[in-house]
Structure 1
Amino acid sequence: MTSTVPAHGSLPSTLGPVRAVKAPAAEDSALQAVLLDMDGTLVDTEGFWWEVEVEVFGRLGHTLDDSWRHVVVGGPMTRSAGFLIEATGADISLPEISVLLNEGFEARIGSTLPLMPGAARLLAELSEHEIPTALVSASHRRIIDRVLASLGPQHFALSIAGDEVSRTKPYPDPYLLAAAGLGADPARCAVVEDTATGVEAAEAAGCHVVAVPSVAPIAPALRRTVVGSLEEVDLAFLRGLMTEMRQTFTER
């Protein structure tokens, strides 16, 4: 797959002109590109983030309520860490806590990561069929680059990090930027997400979403399909969803 943007590299933090990769025409499908979330979708790390948050705030003398886990999952660090600072009254700034959380997460993931069931097979299939694919995460670039080493950077034409966009999830900006970088129409992109925050971002961008809930339930909706795991998702499944959706909207 050829790209005019750096493979799995950073892109501008605005939604201005992006030199796009031309998506290959799929004669039998409306699918142009696949955009994948990272934590909880491809790698089993949502629990890692919560464990690190509990540990870091514990060192600061504060106990986190387990019910807060649903509040902080899937969002940018500025939102999740900001919420926890306010909820606990911890005497620490947002930049300071962000450094501690990123350092704690990096130490926890080590050199390898547990992949979600079906993730390796799906990535291999998308690569084999040269489907333009992007990794779109609210995590910072330093974390994404570590995770890419386990996922295989060759599977992605580009990646978007939460600290590289002015507005990350739940805003549509990261998905709009990824689609532009792949030369794809957002309406013809399939997004795979595990949290309500990510689903909201993808749907606001006009993408069709396959939700694989990790922590909290996600209900089916228009342009949204809910599955139990990535083991239910393959290229034929994604192409079928996009073709069916295109026909539905054409008939209206």
Structure 2
Amino acid sequence: MTSPSLAAVLWDMDGTLVDTEPYWMSSETALIESYGGTWSHEQALQLVGLGLEDSARILQAAGVRMSEQAIVAHLTDAVMDRLREDGVPFRPGARELLADLRAAGVKTGLVTMSLRRMADTVVDLIDFDAFDVIVAGDESTRPKPFPDPYLQACEALGVEPTEVVAIEDSPNGLRSAVASGAAVIGVPLMVSITGAGAHAVWPTLEGRTTGDLADFHTAHRARGGAR
């Protein structure tokens, strides 16, 4: 029985494709301080990779007297404003690898816990047709670390998880992608991903190509899809 070939690559957005985490953190800090609270960098790191409603509940516990939905909307608007002002802060090598995948005809999907309007803003600012499908936080049946967002993306693309490579930067994202059955690469940024189940860890995407992803996928499946 032959191993399935690489049919699609699924990307996390914040922290993986684009380095927007500083935008989120500064927006969280400003919101909490507006209610007289304080917000440390260590506290902000706890929110990396969390679903937005889970993050909102943590901010409520820190003193933000707003509904979960209002917190999510406020932070999303603030980050979108930064993106429009400063452009898309791609992580090193991410734009080039994404463009290479498109040129090679490999399907691509964006799987993010950010709201759809936030994802659309990022994608609209990319200067080429970057993704075949987007699954956003307000569209997933359950958030990361559940596998649902990745399974929804596979279904929308018409591919099996065994035909997919997923790229993530956070423990919750990695657990979600691994649980879906995809071959998963961790590219850490702000938080440790040790023990989160990545099948490979790449320090950077700089210099990586479609061929590298295909080779990783083939090797992973040859091992039976295990670590």
TM-score after normalising by structure 2: 0.91
Q: Secondary structure at the match of 1:190?
A: strand
1:55 alignment partner, one of 9, 17, 30: 30
1:118 alignment partner, one of 73, 77, 93: 93
What is the match of residue 201 of structure 1? 176
Q: Any unmatched runs of 5+ in structure 2?
A: none
Q: Secondary structure at the match of 1:171?
A: coil
The question of whether the paired residues in 2 share the 8 Å contact of 1:192 and 1:211 is answered with yes
Report how many residues are paired: 224
Higher relative contact order (CA 8 A, sep 6+): 1
Deviation at 1:166, TM superposition (A): 2.5
User: Structure 1's 222 and 107: CA in aligned 2 closer, same or farther, altered over 3 A?
Assistant: closer
Deviation at 1:250, TM superposition (A): 8.3
Alpha-carbon distance in structure 1 between the residues aligned to 2:214 and 2:95? 19
User: Structure 1's 83 and 234: CA in aligned 2 closer, same or farther, altered over 3 A?
Assistant: same
Deviation at 1:72, TM superposition (A): 0.4
Alpha-carbon distance in structure 2 between the residues aligned to 1:96 and 1:109? 20
Deviation at 1:89, TM superposition (A): 3.3
User: Structure 1's 250 and 173: CA in aligned 2 closer, same or farther, altered over 3 A?
Assistant: closer
The question of whether the paired residues in 1 share the 8 Å contact of 2:4 and 2:221 is answered with no
TM-score after normalising by structure 1: 0.83
Q: Please, which moves more after superposition, 137-146 or 227-236?
A: 227-236
Q: Deviations over 1:214-244 (max 9, x none)?
A: 1112237766110111115321111111111
Identity %: 35
Q: Please, which moves more after superposition, 227-236 or 38-47?
A: 227-236
Q: Secondary structure at the match of 1:230?
A: coil
What is the match of residue 70 of structure 2? 96
What is the match of residue 169 of structure 1? 144
What is the match of residue 65 of structure 1? 40
User: Structure 1's 44 and 222: CA in aligned 2 closer, same or farther, altered over 3 A?
Assistant: closer
Q: Secondary structure at the match of 1:162?
A: coil
Deviation at 1:70, TM superposition (A): 2.2
Residues 1:242 and 2:217 are matched in the alignment: yes
State how 1:153-168 maps to structure 2 within 5 Å: 154-168=129-143
What is the match of residue 190 of structure 1? 165
User: Structure 1's 121 and 29: CA in aligned 2 closer, same or farther, altered over 3 A?
Assistant: farther
The question of whether the paired residues in 2 share the 8 Å contact of 1:207 and 1:223 is answered with no
Alpha-carbon distance in structure 2 between the residues aligned to 1:155 and 1:84? 33
What is the match of residue 213 of structure 1? 188
What is the match of residue 42 of structure 1? 17
What is the match of residue 8 of structure 1? none
What is the match of residue 112 of structure 2? 137
The question of whether the paired residues in 1 share the 8 Å contact of 2:107 and 2:132 is answered with yes
User: Structure 1's 172 and 28: CA in aligned 2 closer, same or farther, altered over 3 A?
Assistant: closer
Deviation at 1:245, TM superposition (A): 1.5
What is the match of residue 107 of structure 1? 81
